[in-house]
Amino acid sequence: MVEVFKTNVHDEGDSQNLVRHLQRHFPDGRINFDLEDCDRILRVEGGTVSRIKIMDTLSHLGFLCEPLD
């Protein structure tokens, strides 16, 4: 399963911190940001991925995150 999100993450350090947080919830997932893209893309790939958990995690840390279809 692959989930793709538009975010407001601009800083590489923030993206690395967010990846660490998300890996706690999805330890077997492949998680990365594309900060070069105008939508600051977050991509999460794994067997079981929860959109709600991803959005809640980013929101709790002060970032916007919305799914791209």
Q: Is the pLDDT of residue 2 over 90?
A: yes
Residue 9's domain spans which residues?
2-67
Is 90 exceeded by the pLDDT of residue 59?
A: yes
pLDDT in tens, 13-24: 999 999 999 999
State yes or no: pLDDT of 4 exceeds 90. yes
What is the CATH classification number for the domain harbouring 47?
Answer: 3.30.70.100
Strand extents, DSSP E, 1-69: 2-7, 30-34, 41-45, 65-67
Residue type, 10: H
Residue 69 has pLDDT above 90, yes or no: no
Q: Which of 43, 45, 46 has its CA nearest to residue 9?
A: 43
Tell me how many domains the chain contains. 1
User: Which pLDDT value is given to residue 48?
Assistant: 86
Predicted TM-score (pTM) above 0.85:
yes
